[in-house]
Amino acid sequence: MTDEQVGDLTGRRLGNYRIDGVLGKGGMSVMYRATDVRLGRKVALKVIGEHLGADAEFRERFVDEARNTAAIDHPNIVPLYDFGEIDGMHYLGMRLVDGSDLASLISDGPMRPERAVGLLEQVADALDTLHRRGLVHLDVKPANVLVTKRESIREHVYVADFGLTRRGATGHRTRGGDFLGSPTYAAPEHLRGEPLDGRTDQYALACVLFACLTGRPPYPGDVQTVIKGHLNLAPPSAVRVVPSLPRAIDAVLATGMAKDPARRYNSCVELLAAASEVLTSSRPRETPPRETPHETSRRETPPGGNGRPPQPPQQPHGSRPGAMPGPAQRGPGRVPPPGYGSPAPEPVPPTPTAPTGNYSPQPQNPQPSWLVPLLLSAIVVLAVLLAVVIIATA
């Protein structure tokens, strides 16, 4: 499609829509930012080329796409508001996503593997939902993955611009020769015009994953070079482009991009689960920074100590082995309560300890060894004195 076939409609009215500007252009349509003047709502308006509107097969496909998209309720699929035909131009009115597409996010180079997996996991879930309904997206590419942070804390993804077809269909071109989809991310069976199913979208999703991890599509070049790569060349190595990637990711991508659909994963979610496992398990473990001798000394010295490393406790002379230390033997500082770095202490029955240092416990019922003889001597003396007194008075 050329600009002559669909001119710039900015500033014009198309039914209830005032067209405010161009969002992007594709092979068969132009996406506009527009305002629904009836509802006062901003929308994304996809206008199909007039030359395609004359194709009866394409008109049927267009209506089928619109109705199927409107029937899907999924958080990662752009909601469709309206569709119709005015003055020979077919249009789709859908939610305007305030964000960027994946193509612009990787235009300056690859993104972090964790981020790529987090975004494409949402795409995989949306695609598998389509596949369970017997539909194939048929145009999975970075430009059709919209990313926004306006609707949730984390980045939220919408899959847009469907080239929907029924599973098992073989048509990959219109009667006018326009290719349905993007050759840059098209599966071999799509390019050959063979029957299509969900594995066709999975191949394209694996190509998008490759692009996110490397910053470029798997088979760059002109259209003929790209098609030859998808049909005849082995899946390229992402590790050769970005050596920091784990080697195992090449096997995941090779399975998702297998020429034979039967050798691919069972679902798009399974493809992303395999990629996530590889990229997550290969991340280097974080190691704590090496401590300086001063930091080590501070860590080992208990609070309130004298700066010297703690010495092992010495058994006091005369104390029973295994007895609990007395107050003078306990180290300085406070012991943290259970749950804050120290285990709960087990109850231990109190045992007598020998006095140490300046600690002088009060004796209970003291009985010195010299007390009994002293008392006996006093009794004898008193008895003698009493006898002398009695004799003297007689």
pLDDT for the residue 170: 55
Distant-in-sequence, close-in-space partners of 22: CB < 8 Å, separation ≥ 6: 8, 10, 30, 31, 32, 33
Closest CA to 357 of 316, 321, 318, 324: 316
Q: Pick the catalytic residue from 139, 161, 201, 250.
A: 139
> 386 to each of 122, 373, 379, how far by Cα in Å?
115, 20, 11
pLDDT for the residue 290: 47
pLDDT for the residue 339: 38
CATH class of 100-281: mainly alpha
Sign of CA dihedral 111, 113, 115, 118: positive
Distance CA 116, CA 361 (A): 72
Question: For each of the chain's 394 residues, which pLDDT tens digit applies?
Answer: 344 445 789 999 999 999 999 988 876 788 999 999 999 999 999 988 776 766 777 778 778 878 887 888 899 999 999 998 888 888 999 999 989 999 999 999 999 999 999 999 999 999 999 999 888 998 999 999 999 987 677 899 999 877 656 555 555 555 455 566 689 999 999 999 999 999 999 999 999 999 999 999 999 999 999 999 999 999 999 999 999 999 999 999 999 999 999 999 999 999 999 999 999 875 554 444 444 444 444 444 444 444 455 555 554 444 444 444 444 444 444 444 443 344 444 544 555 444 444 444 444 555 556 677 778 888 888 888 888 888 887 6
Q: Where are the domains of the chain?
A: 13-95, 100-281
Number of residues in the chain: 394
CATH class of 13-95: alpha beta
pLDDT for the residue 373: 76
Tokens 């050596």 identify what position? 243
Cβ–Cβ < 8 Å for 354, 317: yes
Residue 46: exposed, middle, or buried by beta-carbon count in 10 A (0-12, 13-18, 19+)?
Answer: buried
User: Is 3 marked active-site?
Assistant: no
pLDDT for the residue 69: 79
